[in-house]
Amino acid sequence: MTTTTVPATTRQAHARSAPRPRWSRLIEDVRRSGRYPTTEQAERVTRTVLSALGALVIGEERVELARALPEAAARVIASQIPATRPVTVAEFVDSIAARSEGATPATARWDAGSVLGVLTNLVGEDLSDRVLRELPPGYAPFFGRPEPAGAR
């Protein structure tokens, strides 16, 4: 009888073999989540938030996030230059507001929550948790999660 060993990279292989979600599904989910009146507005918000997030996520999580997202979203994430220091939630919100005409910190927070909450459903709990562990405290609510007790 032959014994089969499961490689340590099973999770990565599974992530690569899973079909990518469609861009249109991501945008429609964001449109519904954020209650945006048009697909165009939801797409603009999604690109803006993903651009801001792309600068924050590095290493293995960045690669896996890009693999788990639609190709257009992966390109937005991957095209960002990683930040050289931790970015506070306030700075993250300000960067989203600065990229959106007429945005305020309140609308930027709404946009971030609308997009990142959908991302959690799209990429799964495990990857979302790993991304959150790489970010400073305060980001969990954007992903639809409570801030962990004792967050750094």
Q: Which two tokens stand for residue 72?
A: 């257009």
Question: For the chain, what percent of residues have pLDDT higher than 90?
Answer: 80
- The span from the CA of 40 to the CA of 54, in Å, is 21
Instruction: Indicate the pLDDT class of residue 148, thresholds 50, 70 and 90.
Output: confident
- The span from the CA of 28 to the CA of 49, in Å, is 15
Q: What is the pLDDT of residues 67-118, one digit of tens each?
A: 999 999 999 999 999 999 999 999 999 999 999 999 999 999 999 999 999 9
- Whole-prediction pTM value? 0.84
Instruction: Indicate the pLDDT class of residue 2, thresholds 50, 70 and 90.
Output: very low
Res 147: pLDDT? 83
Do residues 118 and 29 lie in contact, with contact meaning Cβ atoms separated by under 8 Å? Answer: yes
52 CB contacts (<8 Å, ≥6 apart)?
A: 92, 95, 96, 99, 112
Residue 115 vs residues 11, 109, 140: alpha-carbon distances, Å: 25, 10, 13
Alpha-carbon dihedral angle through residues 114, 51, 93, 95, given to the nearest 10 degrees: -150
What is the average pLDDT across 29-40? 98
Angle among Cα 99, 151, 69 to the nearest 5 degrees reads 45
pLDDT of residue 121 exceeding 80:
yes
3-state helix, strand, coil in the chain (%, to 5): 65, 0, 35
**Sign of dihedral through CA atoms 25, 122, 94, 54?**
negative
